[in-house]
Amino acid sequence: MKVTVNGREVETAPDPCRRLLDFLREDQGLAGTKEGCGKGECGACAVLLDGRLVNSCLVLLGQCEGASVETIEGVAGTALHPVQEAMLQLGAVQCGFCTPGLVMASVALLRENPSPTPAEVRRGIEGNLCRCTGYVKVEAAVLDAARRMREA
């Protein structure tokens, strides 16, 4: 079967019941996607599947035939993504374990809604648990990234 990962087509004969998360981390070596709860509660494993935010712990590889997957490794180009840049500058990263998922959720939000209100940002990242930051700086960073992207 064929899956596109970060723009690169991957041909593989995998176990269709393998979780997308394990395929990315173990088979593709893309360890930026994290496993927190494994039950869709924490968002650490969030990736974009055909452009939509999903928890990769709750997607089976067999369901991804012909699909396009975007992970944290595919978000940055030659420079960091504005969301990543803003999170660094505003101190929105502490231990960092939830950060890839938060970045993916924020990128998904800003693609759909380039000018979110603070409440819309909180809703956009409501599926991502962070035990360190208290979310205040994360929210500020996403709003700041939105402003940068609109002005760019």
Partner 1 sequence: MAATAFARPATVAEALAALAGGGGRWTPVAGGTDLLVRVRDGARPGGLLDLTGIEALRGIREEAGALRIGALATHAEVAAHEVVRKHAAALAEAATVVGSPAIRNRGTIGGNLANASPAADLVPPLVALGAVVEIAGPDGCREVAAEALATGPGRTVLVPGELIAAARVPLPGPGRTSAFRRLGARRALAIAKVSVAVAATVWRDGALSGVRVALGAVAPTVIRAAAAEAALEGRVPSPDVLAEAEAAVRTDARPITDIRSNETWRREMCAVLLRRAVSALAGAHARSGD
From residue 11, how far is each of 14, 48, 66, 67, 148 by CA, in Å? 9, 19, 10, 12, 37
CB of 73 to partner 1, least distance (A): 18
CB of 96 to partner 1, least distance (A): 20
- Beta bridge partner(s), residue 54: 47
Q: Which is nearer to partner 1, 59 or 93 (CB)?
A: 59
Q: Which residues bind partner 1 (CB under 8 A)?
A: 15-19, 38-41, 43, 46, 49, 52-55, 57-60, 62-63, 65, 105, 108-109, 123-124, 126-128
Would you state the torsion angle of the CA atoms of residues 40, 43, 46, 51, taken in this order, to the nearest 10 degrees? Answer: 90
Q: Which is nearer to partner 1, 60 or 88 (CB)?
A: 60
